[in-house]
Amino acid sequence: MERDPKIRKKTRFKKIIIWLLIDLAVAAVVFVLLIHRPGSYDPVDFDSLNHDEGQVSPYLTHELSPNLYNNSQRGEPFDLVITQSGINEIVAGLGWPKYSEGVMLYAPAVLFVPGSVVLMGTANIKGVEVIITIELQPKIDEQRLLNLNVVKVKIGAVNITPLARMISKKMYTERLASMPVDTEALQTKIVGSLLNEEPFEPVFRVEDNKVRIEKITINQEKLTAHLVPAS
């Protein structure tokens, strides 16, 4: 016996409503996860630092740079300690917001946790604010090359690491193909490591001397780089 067409129509309509409600619920959950604000996110308010506009970070000029310069002149191995509060002071003074591909980036924060450096910031995408989190685990391999190792990328509470890696590799390849790039510049090597997992020789010049990063140790709120003279 065939069912009444009206009954079939009502049943079909109910199924459609149920699926629509499920889709809306899933979309709502995803949206909530995307706009989630991690509890560890605590960006520095640059205005609260009482720095004049355009002033370079006192931590950089009075502590970090003098320690690096003075120790490098001795021609002996030394440890350079970077504090979480100090690096956040430096980053906060770099001039925000910044714009990239129609996205406004601002309110950066850096966390040092055992074994990792966590970079966080707010991105405004067409009026919607989301928190982007990037976790790095810098490693120096047996060939003494440094790789910054991006191990996790999140928007809110959503892990987008595979997608981020695919997009970053594409961006890196297109950038190299579209314009002349000094592949020997330290900045280029850092970008290559971040976007394309390319290890590089961690050697840089301090005035007339060269130093090599031989080891990186990351503890809670502190990063220690062990530096040695380089030829």
Q: What is the pLDDT of residue 1?
A: 46
Q: Which residue has the tokens 């990328």?
A: 153
pLDDT of residue 170: 87
pLDDT of residue 137: 97
3-state secondary structure the chain: CCCCHHHHHHHHHHHHHHHHHHHHHHHHHHHHHHCCCCCCCCCCCHHHHCCCCCCCCHHHHHHHHHHHHHHHHCCCCEEEEEEHHHHHHHHHCCCCCEEECCEEEEEEEEEEECCEEEEEEEEEECCEEEEEEEEECCEECCCCCEECCEEEEEECCEECHHHHHHHHHHHHHHHHHHCCCCCCCHHHHHHHHHHHCCCECCEEEECCEEEEEEEEEEECCEEEEEEEEEC
pLDDT recorded at residue 171: 83
Neighbours of 148 (CB within 10 A): 22
Residues lower than pLDDT 50 in the chain: 1
Q: What span, in angstroms and rounded, lies between the C-alpha atoms of 205 and 90?
A: 20
pLDDT for res 33: 82
pLDDT of residue 89: 93
CA distances for 57 relative to 31, 85, 87, 121, angstroms:
37, 11, 9, 19
CA–CA distance, 35 with 93 (Å, rounded to integer)? 26
pLDDT score, position 231 = 80
pLDDT at site 136:
97
% of the chain beyond a pLDDT of 70: 91
Burial of 83 (0-12, 13-18, 19+ CB in 10 A): middle
Of 66, 75, 83, which Cα lies nearest the Cα of 211?
Answer: 75
* The pLDDT of residue 227: 97
Segment 101-158, tens digit of pLDDT: 789 999 999 999 999 999 999 999 888 999 999 999 999 999 999 999 999 999 999 9
* Predicted TM-score of the model (pTM): 0.86
